[in-house]
Amino acid sequence: METLTYKDLTFELRQSSNRKTVGITVEKNGKLIITYPPNCPKDQLQQIIESRSLWIYQKLQYKEVIDLTTPHKKYVTGEGFYYLGRSYRLKLIDTLNKQPHLRLYQGRFLLHRSLKELGRECFIEWYRAHLSSYLKEKIPTLTTQIGVSPQSIQIRELKNRWGSCNSKGDIYFHWRIILLPAPMIAYILVHELVHLSEPHHKIAFWDKLEAILPDYQQRKQWLTEHGKQYDL
């Protein structure tokens, strides 16, 4: 399969004798395809991509979303649950000894057996609390580095998005990001913070993101390929 790369975009090239013009397709899974007539030079394809880059990036905005196809977790002893990229096994216990209903202790998540049916709610509450602490530690340094001042930072259930930002300067992060490895969390944080100065996925946005995270393309690709497994 022949491909063509433009900035952080990779296109599959498909030559077709039935075409007289160049066509760009953005498939539902984010795959990019260029269909072109025979004898069309590659530099012309590059020019067409550049001229339509804004449209392409707008179509690809959803690539920052979460794939929710992973089966739900079972809240039983031995099930693995992620925190900061590492999987910890769950152990159901019968006594609390005045400890929280769910806690991470000596490399295991401990959940009281009576709350097994409420396991997901307990984990979400735990993840939200720990993400709040994490953001309080990381955000000030990043806002100084990027030169932005968010109106607010909030943790929400964002359905199929890792994060979002509105025109008022409010930034929202899905509680799920605390399950991810730290480099992927950093990508999501920086991505949304850069949106405060560059609201759209135009070339200027990606250039600024690259200046802060030179390897952002690899992190973005990792999220696309592996992010779906970090769920409950």
163 vs 18, more confident: 163
**Secondary structure (3-state) at 199:** coil
The answer to whether residues 121 and 19 belong to one domain is no
By the 10 Å C-beta count (0-12 exposed, 13-18 middle, 19+ buried), 175 is classed as buried
Conformational region of residue 227, where left means phi above 0, alpha means psi within -120 to 50, and beta covers everything else: alpha
The answer to whether residues 11 and 118 belong to one domain is no
Phi, psi angles (nearest 5°) of residue 93: -125, 160
- The band of 20, judged by pLDDT with boundaries at 50, 70 and 90, is confident
Query: For residue 67, is it within any domain?
Result: no
pLDDT at 30: 74
CA end-to-end span of the chain = 36
Instruction: Name which of 84, 135, 75 is nearest 102 in CA terms.
Output: 75
pLDDT at 19: 84
Query: For residue 97, is it within any domain?
Result: yes
The answer to whether residues 101 and 170 belong to one domain is yes
Domain that holds residue 130: 80-229
Average pLDDT over residues 138-146: 96
Radius of gyration (Cα) for the chain, nearest Å?
21
